[in-house]
Amino acid sequence: MPVISATAVLLTLGLWALAAPAPVPAPAFVAADGIIPGEYIISLKPGLARSQIESHLSRAASVHTRRRRDTTPAGGISKTFSIGAFNAYAGSFDEATLAEILSGDVEGAVASVEPNRLVEIDALVTQDAAPWGLASLSSLNQLSSSSDGQPYTYDDSAGEGSFAYIVDTGVQVYHPDFAGHAVKGYSSQPDEEFDDFAGHGTHVAGTVGSQTYGVAKKATVVDVKVLAGLGTGSVATVLDGYNWAVNNITDTPGRLAKSVISMSLGFPVSTTASALDEAVNAAYDLGVPTVVSAGNLNQDASRRSPARAARAFTVAAADWNRTRAFFSNFGSLVEVFAPGVEVRSLGLDNGTTVYSGTSQAVPHVTGLIAYLRGKEEDLSTPDEVFARVRELSVEGVVRDPQGTANLLAFNGAVSS
């Protein structure tokens, strides 16, 4: 019988100071560690034929239907996910139903089972301070301060023709500073209006591609809403949106070599595998790069998913003084540092706001990748994209890296 994993998901937001509508209620009876009782994500083994996958799903649905007539009120399979070699499904099952599904797995199709958990975003407190991140991204030298008005130098292609998928709380795509370059893609939160009520996703998207605060000002921002209210969601809702984003990229002609996915979110993990890690790895194998946040707990990033995913591009936060942010996670799995302290970007209701967090570092790199993919022709694979970001980065200037590769993101627009 497959081992039932204790892997969990808690994707951390920290935007509670925002003035916003009341959050969508979390599922009832959520455990202190974020586990949603009775909800599971079941990952299937790579290499299964489509007929084997469909046979397993059909049998699981049949077991649930039969047991529901007898004893259980649980809802059964709710979503299926397919990204290259990665196949999984989410659902609500009582323990007896889950046990029967696993014991009847005569084909050995199941790779792992993990509980579904709450997810939040990786941002910290709101601070009323001026932006500086764009200037840092185009400067080989340390900035003199975090004040406004410092120059940001970039090629006028500005990410034109590229696409950045923002997997987050939603994006207020009608914000005038997007100038029509932001579009709605998909929401895995059908019980809430397709909008952003937290401000986090809009802030992230603004750093990627808005006119005033964006790294890639001509890129198209695609809204993929996976968290509701002030940031309530689960691994299953994140997987649902991420699954849509990857398949939209791979199924749309001409888009694969021009796209990047941003996920400023994460959750604590044990030593076992996570379905979200495997999804990110599978997307990479299909040619889709994903940029993720290292996390805000001042600990090794290997303790969070998807920061620890082997094929993710994990980003830590630095301040204007080129010092690792006191909250930023670190370690050998982190690829690069980027601005993540007192970052001004777009806010709710056509406004702006300032946030700190590895959530803010991620869109600087997401925007940089969109910028480079719009400007350079030889970045068709994630390997080439990630290598180019590392190649351009300023080396050895970040203070207190804590065992992290000492690279600070840079766009290569100036030579001195």
Q: Residue 57's Cα: distance from chain center in Å?
A: 27
Give mean pLDDT, residues 307-325. Answer: 94
Query: Coil, strand, or helix at residue 137?
Result: helix
Q: Is it the case that residue 16 has pLDDT exceeding 70?
A: no
413 pLDDT band, cuts 50/70/90, is confident
Token code pair at residue 402: 């804590």
Query: Coil, strand, or helix at residue 211?
Result: coil
Give mean pLDDT, residues 251-264. Answer: 97
Most confident of 130-134, 184-188, 210-214, 350-354: 184-188
Asked if residue 125 and residue 98 are part of one domain, the reply reads: no
Whole-model pTM: value is 0.86
- Whole-angstrom CA distances from 123 to 20, 143, 210, 265, 301 are 16, 23, 19, 8, 15
Q: Is it the case that residue 90 has pLDDT exceeding 90?
A: yes
Give mean pLDDT, residues 185-197. Answer: 96
Q: Is it the case that residue 76 has pLDDT exceeding 90?
A: no
Distance CA 183, CA 163 (A): 10
pLDDT score for 107 = 76
pLDDT score for 273 = 66
132 pLDDT band, cuts 50/70/90, is low
Look-up of token digits 């022709």:
377
Q: Domain containing 113: what range?
A: 35-118
Q: Is it the case that residue 154 has pLDDT exceeding 80?
A: no
Look-up of token digits 């809009």:
202
Give mean pLDDT, residues 145-163. Answer: 77
Distance CA 147, CA 132 (A): 6
126 pLDDT band, cuts 50/70/90, is very low
Asked if residue 240 and residue 107 are part of one domain, the reply reads: no
**Within a domain: residue 105?**
yes
Give mean pLDDT, residues 254-274. Answer: 89
Q: Is it the case that residue 120 has pLDDT exceeding 80?
A: no
pLDDT score for 88 = 94
130 φ/ψ angles, rounded to the nearest 5 degrees = -80, 155
Sign (positive or negative) of CA dihedral 351, 356, 359, 361: positive
Query: Coil, strand, or helix at residue 226?
Result: coil
**Within a domain: residue 370?**
yes
Q: Is it the case that residue 2 has pLDDT exceeding 50?
A: no
**Within a domain: residue 416?**
no
Of 92, 118, 144, the last residue of a domain is 118
Give mean pLDDT, residues 338-361. Answer: 93
Of 102, 118, 134, the last residue of a domain is 118
Asked if residue 383 and residue 254 are part of one domain, the reply reads: yes
**Within a domain: residue 28?**
no
Asked if residue 139 and residue 68 are part of one domain, the reply reads: no
Give mean pLDDT, residues 27-50. Answer: 77
Distance CA 324, CA 405 (A): 12
**Within a domain: residue 305?**
yes
Distance CA 402, CA 324 (A): 9
Asked if residue 68 and residue 199 are part of one domain, the reply reads: no
73 pLDDT band, cuts 50/70/90, is low
Over residues 361-376, the pLDDT tens digits come to 999 999 999 999 999 9
Residue 299: CATH number of its domain: 3.40.50.200
Asked if residue 400 and residue 274 are part of one domain, the reply reads: yes
Asked if residue 150 and residue 63 are part of one domain, the reply reads: no
Over residues 47-69, the pLDDT tens digits come to 899 999 999 998 888 888 876 65
Q: Is it the case that residue 210 has pLDDT exceeding 80?
A: yes
Give the residue numbers annotated as catalytic, written as ranges: 168, 200, 359
Residue 90: CATH number of its domain: 3.30.70.80
Contact 382, 207 (CB under 8 A): no
Asked if residue 157 and residue 136 are part of one domain, the reply reads: yes
Give mean pLDDT, residues 123-142. Answer: 55
71 pLDDT band, cuts 50/70/90, is low
Asked if residue 130 and residue 107 are part of one domain, the reply reads: no
**Within a domain: residue 231?**
yes
Asked if residue 171 and residue 69 are part of one domain, the reply reads: no
**Within a domain: residue 23?**
no
pLDDT score for 101 = 86
pLDDT score for 148 = 57
- Mean pLDDT, rounded, of the chain: 85
Of 68, 96, 118, the last residue of a domain is 118
Helix (H) or strand (E) holding 263: strand 259-263
pLDDT score for 243 = 98
Distance CA 226, CA 395 (A): 35
Q: Which of 142-151, 210-219, 364-373 has the lowest mean pLDDT?
A: 142-151
Asked if residue 218 and residue 114 are part of one domain, the reply reads: no
pLDDT score for 153 = 80
Token code pair at residue 185: 């893609």
Number of structural domains in the chain: 2
286 pLDDT band, cuts 50/70/90, is very high
**Within a domain: residue 413?**
no
Asked if residue 75 and residue 106 are part of one domain, the reply reads: yes
pLDDT score for 65 = 80
